[in-house]
Chain A
Amino acid sequence: MELARVMGTVVADRKYEGLEGVKLLLVQPLTSALEPTADPLIVADRFSAGVGQVVWWVGGREAALALPETFVPVDAAVVAIADEVTTGGKTVRP
């Protein structure tokens, strides 16, 4: 699982069967100090995370398991909306 900040939404009208109603978010991966790192990616989201929010996302086969339909072609999905991240004794509330 990793941390990322929601930058925006990707809209696709024609999607693979099973992905209807699944939101696609453009997210920026973050360090544990919530600084941007690495290239943005697209993650599926059933939590309706909004722009600016920090999410935990999961990759691999487990990504699809986070969605209502669990046998779908998705390799990254949101599993939680972060409220607090503590590292080195310092707590950040995104």
Chain B
Amino acid sequence: MILGRVTGNAVAVEKHPCYDGKICLVVQPVDPVSRKDVGRAFLALDAVQAGEGDLVLASREGNTARQLAGGPDDPIHSVVLAIVDRVEIGES
């Protein structure tokens, strides 16, 4: 899983039917400590009603994404699966 921040969403009219009615979020991976952007943003379907600004856990792996956001034969490869409340580093 990847720690990231939801920075927005993407909209498409012409799309694979498995994306109908689903929300496609833009997720920017962030460093767990500094919370600064690392790497490039990607698209992920929303499984937890996340919104812009939320710190989230996203999976970029097809099996997880298909289980949470679609069916077994859907071309979905990434999903937002949790809204993160806090990250504890070291002894709490």
Contacts and interface: CB of A to CB of B under 8 A. Distances in A.
Interface of A: 1-3, 29, 31-32, 37-38, 47, 56, 58-66, 70, 77, 79-89
A3 B42 CA distance: 7
A85 B8 contact: yes
Interface residues of B, number: 31
Nearest to B74: A65
Contacts of A37: 40
B24 to A, nearest CB: 7
A85 B15 contact: no
Which 10 pairs from chain A and chain B are nearest by CB?
A80-B15, A87-B8, A66-B75, A80-B12, A1-B43, A32-B41, A65-B75, A86-B8, A84-B11, A62-B62
A62 B75 contact: yes
A88 B7 contact: yes
Nearest to B16: A79
A32 B16 CA distance: 21
A63 B74 CA distance: 9
23 contacts: A1-B76, A29-B40, A32-B7, A32-B8, A32-B40, A32-B41, A38-B40, A47-B15, A62-B75, A66-B75, A80-B12, A80-B14, A80-B19, A81-B12, A82-B10, A83-B13, A84-B10, A85-B11, A85-B26, A86-B10, A87-B8, A87-B41, A88-B8
